[in-house]
């Protein structure tokens, strides 16, 4: 049976209670007997294996050329040639 964590809204005391999956998620504070609310924790995510980092799929030769677009070199040279021919 799982153990759930509860927090009392009155005295802010946190406590744990073992309950079945089929039980109602209800518990009373052991100090003030006020109905407590269940505290939810995010589940941890663990990425195992390759493919989760930027460097996993990158070649050494393509890392420098990724910032340049293939059209950037040809457009700058054609615009400079066009300005020379117009003059």
Distance CA 62, CA 54 (A): 12
Higher pLDDT, 26 or 72: 26
Residue ranges per domain, the chain?
3-39
pLDDT (mean) for 56-76: 53
pLDDT tier, 54 (very low <50, low <70, confident <90, very high otherwise): low
**Is the pLDDT confidence value at 3 over 80?**
yes
Q: What is the pLDDT of residues 70-81, one digit of tens each?
A: 554 444 444 445
Give the C-alpha separation, 27 to 6, whole Å.
Answer: 7
Indicate the pTM of the whole model: 0.47
- Report the candidate in 7, 8, 12 with the shortest Cα–Cα distance to residue 40: 7
């Amino acid at each position: 049976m799982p153990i759930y964590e509860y927090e009392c809204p009155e005295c802010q005391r946190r406590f744990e209670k073992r309950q079945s999956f089929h039980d109602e998620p209800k518990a009373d504070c052991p100090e003030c007997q006020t109905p407590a609310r269940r505290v939810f924790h995010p589940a941890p995510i663990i990425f195992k294996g390759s493919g989760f980092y930027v460097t996993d799929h990158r070649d050494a030769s393509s890392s420098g050329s990724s910032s340049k677009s293939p059209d950037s070199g040809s457009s700058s040279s054609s615009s400079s040639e066009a300005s020379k021919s117009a003059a």
